[in-house]
Structure 1
Amino acid sequence: MTDLATVAEPGDHLARLAATFVKAKGRKSEHTEDAYRRDLASWLTWALTNGINPLDAWPAHIQLWLAHLGQLGEAGTTQARRLGAVSSFYDWLIRHQTAPRNPAKLTKEERPVRAPRPAAALSDEHAAQLLAAADRDTPRAALIVWLLLHTGLRVTELVTARLGDVGVDRGHMVLHVHGKGGKGRTVVLVPTVVARLDAHLAQRPDGPANTMVLAGQAGAGRDRPLIATATGKPLGRHKVRLLLQRLARAAGLPQAVVDTLSPHSTRATYVTASLASGVSIYDVAQDVGHSSTDTTRGYDRSRYDPARSAAYRLQDRFARHLPTGER
């Protein structure tokens, strides 16, 4: 359920509180607003359906809700995200003296387990093939792929970036990123990425950008999407995955790679390739917006290199004992 108006009557006090909170959280991004709306609606719907007043809930109620989500098959990562959104809502209510406690403040043992989100990193060869296929496609496709692989951006960060976020910082071209939870950071745009940004801007209907200045400063350009459709509107997130898979097919990548390729894969590729190149994990965490290096390690696919798997040795070992025609 994504519409808070369906949780309670539009004039209801709870509905107004929830809508105000969601709007405040999503003031910088409609995607963030949608995420908070969905997660909060999940809890409020369950509570009201089960005769529980959300403004007087206890931790036991939250645990029952999480158990319900688990029975529905929701992953621990999704449950943890929902719990975080609900906890933030109650913190906001307490600050406004509207709720007596935060029932979502669970102990570490009570909280859902965040399982690592699987996403295979591209090999250097496959990444290069994807970059080349993007260059053969369109300037916009080239910019998207080169940006994703050379910055590790989240897809939401990519599609919500504005031209005014591009600038120069101490001689380096940079992009000011509006990350998760309203956290900002700056990523470097290397010359090859800047070249593709210029090519994309040159063919856009709304024309090239103004002279670049320090990101976030006055004069940084009109408030236009960094990646725009033919009509100048922001690109949808789902379009990015479809583009990556289409380009992967055009590049002749294995079907297994094509089927699983997503912006999360390019992010994992950035982390894996950076660490394999000897970059400090602290610098990589800064680049991709991780508050903890433990999260960054979760994206590093170099820790398990399939090429080192014992399965290949066992294949050869067992094959020596198979009949000749079955090897």
Structure 2
Amino acid sequence: MKNGHYIDDFLRYLEIEKNASVYTVRHYASDLQQFTAHLEEQRIDGFETVTYLHVRMFLAKLGADDYAKRSISRKLSALRSFYQYLLREGAVAVSPLSYVRTPKLEKKLPRFLYLEQTLALLEAPDLSTPLGVRDRALMECLYASGMRVSELVGLDVSSIDLDNGIALVFGKGAKERYVPLGELAVDALRSYMDDARNELLEGKEALPLFLNYRGTRLSDRSVRRIVDKYVEQLALASDVSPHTFRHTFATHMLEAGADLRVVQELLGHVDLSTTQIYTHVTKDHLQSIYNKAHPRA
């Protein structure tokens, strides 16, 4: 394609100027490559010649190939962002996405854990080993703060103030926020930082807070494997993930009477509507308790 270099330029723009996550850049790259392949099949040479009908044909093909609405919606989002970039750069005069509607998505209620399940997970690690102490600390940290896994693995030792029980996290779009940790999470972190972390370092120096067995920073995928191990050990539902701690934090906070805007701030949500999904969870939870407890429910 004659101006295919615009995709590389756009991905660099996302990474450097928009500070998009590695996950977002990777998926947008895949979506745009798929769109480009479709254009080449249709013998369309150049993004400036793409019309509304070409985009509709692409969407129709995705539907025929049984792509989920959520996947189609993400691909549309990638195309919208890409054409906004092309407009800004003067590479196109109009966006062919202007009159394309995003498919309506069903709101999926987030998966969360009940309190007894949460406590079982937190208490599952073997505290006689450095890795077990680390695992307890990182899960306590996830549940106490509601931070994203990417925020957790990005923490350095300097990000944590144990005396005041707070952590400074870097969220989406390089936005900073302070999150409380709570007494039990502080105790678990203190145990980890006083002994277990030094054993993992083996005399070396390192900035990251959470380390793997080689003494280097844990990755998102490593945290997933750690949580998977204890989920399997306790025979919990297979769809429990590190992100489930974030959903659980928000749900438990709202069930205990926390203000929705406070939870929004703690989670680092820009839009209150993103946080409001948890109110549906709590309503469902209250209904289920009522149905079980009331003799004439």
TM-score, length basis structure 2: 0.80
Say which SS state the counterpart of residue 127 (structure 1) adopts.
Answer: helix
**8 Å CA contact retained: 2:137, 2:188:** yes
Matched, 1:13 2:3: yes
Residues 47, 147 of structure 1: alpha-carbon distance in 2 compared, 3 angstrom cutoff: farther
CA RMSD of aligned residues (A): 3.3
Say which SS state the counterpart of residue 197 (structure 1) adopts.
Answer: helix
User: How far, CA to CA, are the matches of 1:283 and 1:208 in structure 2?
Assistant: 41
In the TM superposition, what are the counterparts of 1:200-219 in structure 2 within 5 Å? 200-201=192-193, 202-204=195-197, 205-206=200-201
Matched, 1:44 2:27: no
- The CA deviation string for residues 10-51 of structure 1, in whole angstroms up to 9 with x for no partner, is xx532x221122123124443332232223223223223322
Residues 272, 87 of structure 1: alpha-carbon distance in 2 compared, 3 angstrom cutoff: same
**8 Å CA contact retained: 1:177, 1:187:** no
User: How far, CA to CA, are the matches of 1:111 and 1:96 in structure 2?
Assistant: 24
Which shows bigger deviation, 164-173 or 25-34? 164-173
Residues 135, 279 of structure 1: alpha-carbon distance in 2 compared, 3 angstrom cutoff: farther
Map of 1:195 onto structure 2: 187
Map of 1:228 onto structure 2: 211
User: How far, CA to CA, are the matches of 1:311 and 1:73 in structure 2?
Assistant: 39
Matched, 1:273 2:252: yes
Residues 277, 140 of structure 1: alpha-carbon distance in 2 compared, 3 angstrom cutoff: same
**8 Å CA contact retained: 2:170, 2:176:** yes
Say which SS state the counterpart of residue 258 (structure 1) adopts.
Answer: coil
User: How far, CA to CA, are the matches of 1:164 and 1:23 in structure 2?
Assistant: 30
Map of 2:222 onto structure 1: 239
One-letter code aligned to 2:284: Y
Task: Give, in angstroms, the shift of residue 187 of structure 1.
Answer: 2.2
Residues 170, 226 of structure 1: alpha-carbon distance in 2 compared, 3 angstrom cutoff: closer
Question: Structure 2, unaligned stretches of length 5 or more?
Answer: none
Runs ≥4 in structure 1, deviation > 6 angstroms? 207-210, 311-314
Map of 1:324 onto structure 2: none
- The CA deviation string for residues 29-77 of structure 1, in whole angstroms up to 9 with x for no partner, is 4333223222322322322332233333223332332332233333322
User: How far, CA to CA, are the matches of 1:135 and 1:277 in structure 2?
Assistant: 30
Map of 1:149 onto structure 2: 143
Task: State the identity %.
Answer: 23
Map of 1:23 onto structure 2: 12
Residues 190, 310 of structure 1: alpha-carbon distance in 2 compared, 3 angstrom cutoff: closer
**8 Å CA contact retained: 1:245, 1:258:** no
Higher relative contact order (CA 8 A, sep 6+): 2
Map of 1:294 onto structure 2: 273
Task: Give, in angstroms, the shift of residue 308 of structure 1.
Answer: 4.1
In the TM superposition, what are the counterparts of 1:46-61 in structure 2 within 5 Å? 46-52=38-44, 53-61=46-54
In the TM superposition, what are the counterparts of 1:118-197 in structure 2 within 5 Å? 118-134=109-125, 136=127, 138-159=132-153, 161-163=154-156, 166-167=159-160, 173-179=166-172, 181-197=173-189
Say which SS state the counterpart of residue 176 (structure 1) adopts.
Answer: strand
User: How far, CA to CA, are the matches of 2:102 and 2:40 in structure 1?
Assistant: 22
